[in-house]
């Protein structure tokens, strides 16, 4: 059983991860907008590709979560297929708050 403090720490970590993911998505959208006017560098194209893959990975996880009992099934699915999570949720080490 998780204590209240552990739950608060987990919520804070996930809030930071969600914020990082939103910032990455915002940056990708700015790069896509820039691509309509100028040529992108290889690094910029890579950033867009990574972010688009993250968005595609989030869709199945969200779908599973929305299913009845999905909140219980999603953690099991993440254990079996860890690559289902977007990069922002994988990059932060557990000890970083």
What b/e string do you get for 47-86 counting C-beta neighbours within 10 Å, with b at 16 or more?
bbeebeebeebbeebeebeeeeeeeeebeebeeeeeebbb
Residue 94 lies in a domain: no
Residue 63 lies in a domain: yes
Domain count, the chain: 1
pTM: 0.64
User: Residue 23's closest CA among 78, 79, 91, 71?
Assistant: 91
Residue 93 lies in a domain: no
* Structural domain range at position 70: 4-88
Is 84 or 12 the better-scoring residue by pLDDT? 12
Residue 30 lies in a domain: yes
Sign of CA dihedral 73, 61, 81, 16: negative
pLDDT at 84: 72
Residue 19 lies in a domain: yes
24-80: pLDDT as tens digits: 889 989 999 999 999 999 999 999 998 888 888 778 777 877 888 877 777 787 777
pLDDT at 95: 44
């Amino acid at each position: 059983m998780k204590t209240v403090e552990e739950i608060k720490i987990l919520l804070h970590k996930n809030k930071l991860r969600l914020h990082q993911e939103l910032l990455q998505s915002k940056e990708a959208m700015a790069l896509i907008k820039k691509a309509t006017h100028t040529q992108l560098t290889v690094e910029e194209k890579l950033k867009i590709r990574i972010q688009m893959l993250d968005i595609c990975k989030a869709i199945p996880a969200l779908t599973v979560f929305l299913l009845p009992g999905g909140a219980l099934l999603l953690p099991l699915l993440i254990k079996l297929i860890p690559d289902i999570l977007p990069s922002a949720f994988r990059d932060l080490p557990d000890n970083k708050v």
